[in-house]
Every structure is written in C-alpha cells, then in structure tokens.
Amino acid sequence: MNTTFRPAPLAAALLLACAPLAHAEPDASARELDRVVVSGHRDGYGAQATRTATKTDTALRDVPQAITVVTGEVIRDQAMTSMVDALRLVPGVGVAQGEGHRDAPIFRGNASTSDMFVDGVRDDVQYIRDLYNIDRVEVLKGPNAMIFGRGGVGGVINRVTKVADGHEHREISLQAGDYNRSRGTFDLGQPLAGRDASFRVTGLYEDSENFRDFFELERYGINPTLTFGAGGTTSVTLGYEHFRDERVADRGVPSQLALGIGRPVDVAPETFFGSPQHSPIRARVDAFTALVEHRFAGGARLSNRTRWADYDRFYQNVYPNGLSRDGSQALIAAYNSSMKRENVFNQTDLVLGFNTGAVEHTLLAGAEFGRQVTDNLRLSGSFPAATCDGAVRTNLACVPLSNPVYTGPVSFAAAASDADNRSVARVGALYVQDQIEFSPQWQAILGLRYDRFEAEVRQNRTGAVVASTDNLWSPRLGLIWKPVEPLSIYASYSQAHLPRAGEQLASLTPGNRSLEPEEFRNYELGAKWDLTPDFALTAAVFQLDRTNVAIADPADPTRSILVDAQRTEGVELALAGQLTQAWKLMAAYAYQEGRITRPTPSELAQLPRHSASLWNRFDLNPSWGFGLGVVYRDDVFASSSNRVTLDAFTRVDAAVYYTASPNLQLQLNVENLFDDEYFANAHNDNNLMPGSPRALVLTAHVAF
C-alpha cells in the first residue's frame, strides 16, 4: 500500500497562480439577492433560501418537503471533491458503488443514475461529477416531477454553479495528500470596468491515486461565465464547461457466497481484483448554457434558460464475479460500454406576485422543451479457453485469491444480449404552481405539470424500432402552518413517473412499450424550525410507494401485469447552521424501512435502518480552528437478493484550520481518524467496496 505524501505538481501550481486574487465582500443588500439567485457568497453551514424546490425565491422553512443544502462553506471545510463526499451529510440519501464509473445516489431506497441536475436543468449521463465549479449542492427528497419532470422518483440533486455575479473572486486552492493525491483549483472573477458586466472562470486539475492498488485518476475542467446587462432590467449569463475524467475502473472485492458465507472476502483493503490494464474509464462533458432574465416594474420575473450538453463516455472493466466453489480462486468477468449523448433543453419561467383580497399569491407558469439523442454500444469480454471452477470457460477467468490480478489477454465482441442502439427522447412540458399565503400562519403550494414524453429506440443490428408516447400528469400539494414565524409544520403529497424507456432512455421493448409508466407517490409530514436566524432544525416523516411495476402474470406468464411493488417509510432529522460565533454544525439522522413486496419479497438494497452523520467546526481564535465529525451506517444488504451483508460501521473524521494571514489559509483534513476497516458500498453481491484507511489531505487556500 503506497502512502506517499507529495505536493501538487509544480506545473499545476504555476498554471493556477497566473490569476490575480482576493475575495471582496458584497454589500448586505446584494448578498441577500445573490444568496438565492446565483452563488459565490457563502451561506455558512445553513442556507436560508432556495430556488431548487419551487423555481421561486423561497425560504427553506416555506418549502413543504425535505430539502438539504450542502453549502460552499461545508464543501470547503471538509475538502469535498465529489458527490459521495457531499451526500454523506444528507439524511435519507446513500451512495451505491456505481461500478466505479458513475454517481449512483440512493434516495429513500431508490437507486438512481440519472436524477442529477445542474442549475435546474437535467444532467442525467452516467459519469462522476466534480465540485470544483459548484457553489452548493441542494438535495430534494421525495418525488417532485412538478418541478423536474420525469424521474426523480426518490429525490433529485441540483448542483448550483459558480457564475459571474459582479464581485471579485480571486483564489487558488492546492491540495496534497496520502496515496499521491494532488489537486489544484482556481476561482477568478472580475467586474468589467465601465460596463454592466462581469467575468468569472473556475478551473480544476487533479492527478491522484487512492488506497486501492493500481488505481489512478486524472481529471481537469474549466468553466468560464460572463454576465452582462442587456438594457435596464434585463441580464444575460453565458457559460461553457469543458470537463474530462480518466481513471481505472475499480469494482472492489467479491463475497464468499460460493462458500455459503454472505460476507466480503477477507483480504487487505487495498487488494485489487481484475485487470487494471484493461479497465479504463473516460468521460468528457462539453456544455454551453445561456440564461436571460428580465424583471418587470411590478416585480414579475421572466427567465429563459438553455443548456446544450455533449457527453462522451467509455467504460471497460475486468472485474470480480465471485469465488470458485472451493474458495481458492476469484472468478473474473469483463465487458465494456460506450455511450454518446447530446442533450438540448430550454426552460421558460414567469414568476409574478398578486393579491386576491387578503390572500397573497406567488404564481409560477412555465414550459420546458428538450431533446436527447443517445448512442449505446456494449461488448462482452471473453478470455482464452481454460478450466475455471471445474469447467472449460471463455466467459470467465480464474485467478488465485492470494493474487487476484488478471494479467492475460481479453477480447471484446458483441453478444446477442448486448446493447447496440440509438435512442431519441423528446419532451414538451407545461406547468403551473401557486404559492398561496392565506395569513401569516397558513400557506399552501398547489402545482401541476403536464409532460408529453416521446421515446424511440432503434436496434442497430436488426433495424427494428420501438416507440412510445406517455402523457404524464404530476401534481404537487403542500400545506404549511406557522404557529410562530420561525416554525413551520407541513403536510405534502408529490408524485413522479418513470416511463418504460427507463432512466437511461434505452429500455423500451415490444413487450413493455404499451405499459403505463411506473409511478411513485410520496406522503410527508414535517417541521422546520429556525432556532436562531443562523441555525435550523428540520424533521420529516414519509411514506414512498412504488406502483405500476411490471411482473409476469401468474395466470399467464406470457403477459405482464402492473402491481404495487415497493414501499419505503422513514424519519429524517437534520440540524444545520451556526450555534455560536465560533461553533458551526451540520448533523443528520435517518431511520428507514424499505421492502419489495412483489414479485419476490425482500428488503431494499443498501438501505440502512439507521444512519447518521455529524460535522462540527470550532474556531478557537481568529487564527486556529478544528473540525470533528462522525459518520455511522447500519448493516445493509448489498443487493435485493438479501444474501450478502455489509456490516455497520462508525467512522471519525477530523480537521485543523490555520489562518496565517488574510491571504493564506491552511487546513489539514483527516478521513477515518482511527483507521477502522469497513465496507462503504456495493454494486451487487460480488462488487463490494472497502472504505478508505486513514487518509490525510493538506489544502492551501491562497487569495490575491
């Protein structure tokens, strides 16, 4: 195990240092607007407002649904770089392994690879996202198709990006850490002299390894944005992101199921199974965004946002697929997958306020149009014929459990079941929402969205085309009672649909195209209490039901029937904000029970009964501070087979902060302070990922 501690490469440091720096504080009035609208100025540990949940500037306590905001300051203090880092602080949300090549959150027991958005626009391709250009991460729990459209069956993640906002942003951050971690980011922003305009650019370069043998990662990104006035009360924001990520696919270790033991194999945490040489991952994202906003004299706001994104992803893996029956060898399988997708979305929103007598209304009316074209190709891997687990095989290879790295050749060719298709999806949606304030004590949200979703899948090998059209109606109802101004108690109902094209738009078949979409219904009661202006407590009790699941008809196996098949129930608690001038805290707890009722009863995969997280930052004086946190996860099943269990774990993290001067801040973060061994997540019963041993990372934030 390599534990070399080295600084970031000099070339990266020089590249990042080209920019002038120092962060100017905005005046109070501008800060209140920017907190809601764009980004760039920190909310501390507790955000006050959001647009994610309603598309309007709404206080968090006036949103009748559970939402967690991981602010920029939390991201910075914990040296977060990925969605996995951010989601560990979110109650009711976990993270699956994702085969080592994609973000795979689990919302209230529902795994997803597509329910990710950026600035409210769909970003649904399977890849691993970085936080270098992100101001904050907002996680909305429970279905909310009224705002986001199809999918979002258990919740959604919206990343709010850093954009040009009329302020100076001049900072570089350099990281160096255990396991050859090297990373640099920059954030440069500047008002343009003599013009109603500003420019900002964020960037990243990383060249790292981790505790797993043979793992390598290189990624870089750049995201310039320009904001300018287009006459009076009209503004335009343009942005472009180029992002690349290359790494070794790592799917962890297998289980001992072949020996009748539902636990991971007992090997050192760094042990790699498969072939690192034949397991490359490549992802590229190019995305252009344009936002035009106009504010009318009466306070109404009209906005139009366009996002064009081109994705190119390739994933090949030679990975563990179990043990031989005597337990002496590891079985190795292989396949690769390439996907190209072009997304084009346009959203138009009109927000206006008006009164009907003593009743106040904030009305949202909007439309969304989009087109997604996807090319998929999957090839199965084969090995030289050899005796493996008592039979001559080409679809599997066997390697000694004592040294499970496969070094032989692998070839890839299409099998009959492999995907080779092009899908085209089109959406046209209209939605309306009314946020009603009957009195200072009573509020309501009523919303309805209509989506016309068309999908077409062409099988390239045969030329066969399957198409379907779904008309989706998605209501949202919420009632809020505020016995006192800082406290809201709410009840809500929301609904979402998953068409038969599936979350990755290629699952249509002649047998399922006529079936109704799957439907998810969320019933929720909750409370949000601002204990102080800077510290909030939230609680939610929910029931999430999955219906319209297709199973074979017991009376006639040649046809499918739709049944109610899944239910998750739970409680979520969260604390976030600043307790004192020197003490900031973010804490979460969730109790969840989830079960599949049909066709085969079982418990939901990777859904812990109990989970909790806690992070504190204490500032001892203007120069020194420290952080201390705990992450706990109960036992979970690796898959819905319920045959393999990942044991509960408790992990302690820590940090030390030192402000050397107004222009230099240093921090040392320690993950897994007590060096405990545990398993973090899984993809299935034989892809189980160990958690990291103790790891240190030193970060220098330099402002100019």
- Read off the pLDDT of residues 329-359 as tens digits, 9 standing for 90 and up: 999 999 999 999 999 999 999 999 999 999 9
Residue 13: which pLDDT band, with cuts at 50, 70 and 90? very low
- What is the per-residue pLDDT for 199? 97
268 within a domain of the structure (yes/no):
yes
Q: In terms of Cα–Cα distance, which of 312, 313, 311, 314 is closest to 287? A: 311
- How many angstroms from the chain centroid is the CA of residue 19? 30
Dihedral sign from CA coordinates of 417, 419, 420, 424: positive
- Residue 530 CA to residue 244 CA, distance in Å, equals 41
- Amino acid 560: pLDDT: 84
- Give the pLDDT mean for 261-275: 97
Number of separate domains in the chain: 1
In the 8-state DSSP scheme, what is residue 523?
E
Is 1 within the bounds of a domain? no
Q: Looking at residue 553, what is its pLDDT? A: 80
Provide the residue range defining the domain that includes 154: 10-703
SS3 of 703, please?
A: strand
Q: Which residue has the tokens 């029956």?
A: 325
- Is 33 within 8 Å of 295 (Cβ atoms)? no
30 pLDDT band, cuts 50/70/90, is very low
Q: What is the dihedral of CA 462, 463, 464, 466, to 10 degrees?
A: 130
Average pLDDT of the residues in 434-440:
97
Per residue in 530-555, pLDDT (tens digit) is 999 999 999 999 999 999 998 888 88
Contact 475/432 with Cβ under 8 angstroms? Answer: no
- Within a domain: residue 328? yes
- CB 605, CB 639: distance < 8 Å: yes
pLDDT value, residue 519: 96
Q: Is the model's pLDDT at 144 over the cut of 90?
A: no
Amino acid at 164: A
- Alpha-carbon distance values, 463 to 414, 422, 460, 555, 644 (Å): 16, 10, 5, 33, 41
Q: Which amino acid is at 162?
A: K
pLDDT digits 0-9 by tens, 675-687: 999 999 999 999 9
pLDDT at position 40: 37
Q: Are the C-beta atoms of 268 and 318 separated by less than 8 Å? A: no
Q: What is the CATH number of the domain that holds 378?
A: 2.40.170.20
Q: Are 682 and 646 in contact (CB under 8 A)?
A: yes
State the pTM of this model: 0.92
- Token digits of residue 195: 């013009």
pLDDT at 502: 94
| pLDDT tens digits, one per residue of 317-328 | 999 999 999 999
The Cα–Cα gap between 207 and 218 comes to 5
| Tokens coding 288 | 């252009």
Residue 122: partners with Cβ closer than 8 Å, 6 or more residues away: 116, 148, 149, 343, 345, 370
Rounded Cα distance, 673 and 628, in Å = 10
pLDDT at 555: 83
Query: Do the beta carbons of residue 166 and residue 200 sit within 8 Å?
Result: no
In a domain, 4, yes or no: no
Rounded CA gap, 56 and 363, in Å? Answer: 9
pLDDT of residue 23: 35
Structure tokens at 345: 């979305």
Tell me whether the omega of the peptide bond preceding residue 599 falls within 30 degrees of 0, making it cis: yes
What 3-state class would DSSP assign to 148?
Answer: helix
The answer to whether 273 and 253 have CB atoms below 8 angstroms apart is yes
Mean pLDDT of the chain: 92
Judged by DSSP in three states, 86 sits in helix
pLDDT at 378 over 60: yes
Helix (H) / strand (E) element for 147: namely helix 145-148
In this model, does residue 643 exceed pLDDT 70?
A: yes
When mean pLDDT is compared across 287-296, 557-566, 639-648, the lowest value belongs to 557-566
Res 622: pLDDT? 96
- In the block, tokens 């991971």 appear at 264
The token duo for 108 is 């209230």
Lowest-confidence segment of 7-11, 452-456, 491-495, 665-669 by average pLDDT: 7-11
The mean pLDDT of 375-384, rounded to a whole number, is 97
Closest CA to 57 of 542, 435, 589: 435
The tens digit of pLDDT for each residue in 127-138 reads: 999 999 999 999
Q: What integer pLDDT is reported at residue 14 of this predicted model?
A: 28
Q: How confident is the model at residue 699 (pLDDT cuts 50, 70, 90)?
A: very high
Residue 298: pLDDT band with limits 50, 70, 90: confident
Evaluate whether residue 3 is within a structural domain: no
How many angstroms separate the CA atoms of 365 and 254, rounded?
51
H/E run at residue 650: strand 649-661
Label residue 329 exposed, middle or buried (CB < 10 Å: 0-12, 13-18, 19+). Answer: buried
Question: Within 13 A of 344's CA, how many CA atoms are on the CB side?
Answer: 4
Q: Are 184 and 12 in contact (CB under 8 A)?
A: yes
Going by C-alpha positions, the residue among 674, 670, 672 that lies closest to residue 692 is: 672
> What number is the average pLDDT over the span 565-576?
97
Q: Would you state the pLDDT for residue 232?
A: 79
Quick one: what percent of the chain has pLDDT higher than 90?
90
| Token duo for residue 657 | 């902060």
CA gap 223, 221 in Å, rounded: 7
Do the domain assignments include residue 2? no
Q: Is residue 93 part of a domain?
A: yes
Q: Give the angle subtended at the CA of 294 by the CAs of 293 and 297, to the nearest 5°.
A: 150
| Distance, first Cα to last Cα, the chain | 38
Is the CB of residue 531 less than 8 Å from the CB of residue 559? no
For residues 146 and 473, the answer to whether their CB atoms sit within 8 Å is: no
Of 270, 278, 298, 290, residue with least CA distance to 379: 278
Residue 309 structure tokens:
């994104």
Instruction: Answer yes or no: is 5 within a domain.
Output: no
Question: What's CA 10's distance to the chain center, in Å?
Answer: 32
